[in-house]
Structure 1
């Protein structure tokens, strides 16, 4: 079992992580023993989490989400994959039009 999660930090930034034990990992973040990034931005709040059959699936989603903008992550939290399905296509079209 694996989990991927998105935290909102005190400064408004979003942190994406993955773990085998979500409850334990959240406690670690809250106690300042998570990542160095969240330690400097306490308190943190869990905004979203997803459960996967295998940790490598969760890790792959973590890396995917880390590459997304703040706005795209928020849209995903609000509406799931369907809410961001066209973002990459739209971004490529905007960049091509700007050339």
Structure 2
């Protein structure tokens, strides 16, 4: 992972739900979620694994992509992430 880059990531959580977020370090953020130090949603629905992530040049671009990803139907979220929102 490149230094200074931002990442949009998608987690699979308990119960089969998905959680999307942005970070500069996907593994560290996953560990925070897994230990109950992440988002409120992942404290109630512990993450099982990282399904995927995509790199962006800056926080603004990652935030826009996160907003777009969260608007996708559940069945299209992983494909959307893997294909760069296309």
Q: Settle same-fold status: TM greater than 0.5.
A: yes
Cα RMSD of the aligned pairs, angstroms, is 1.7
- The runs of 4+ residues in structure 1 deviating greater than 6 Å are none
- Which of these two proteins has the greater Rg computed from alpha carbons? 1
Unmatched tracts of structure 2, length 5 or more: none
- TM-score, structure 1 normalization: 0.73
Question: What do the CA deviations read for 1:9-67 (whole angstroms, capped 9, x no partner)?
Answer: 01101111001222221110111111110111114210010111111111111111011
Unmatched tracts of structure 1, length 5 or more: 86-99
Which structure is higher in strand share?
2
Task: Tell me the residue number matched to 2:39.
Answer: 35
Higher relative contact order (CA 8 A, sep 6+): 2
Which structure is higher in helix share?
1
Aligned length: 82
Which one of 41, 49, 56 corresponds to residue 52 of structure 1? 56
Q: Secondary structure at the match of 1:8?
A: strand
Task: Tell me the residue number matched to 2:6.
Answer: 2
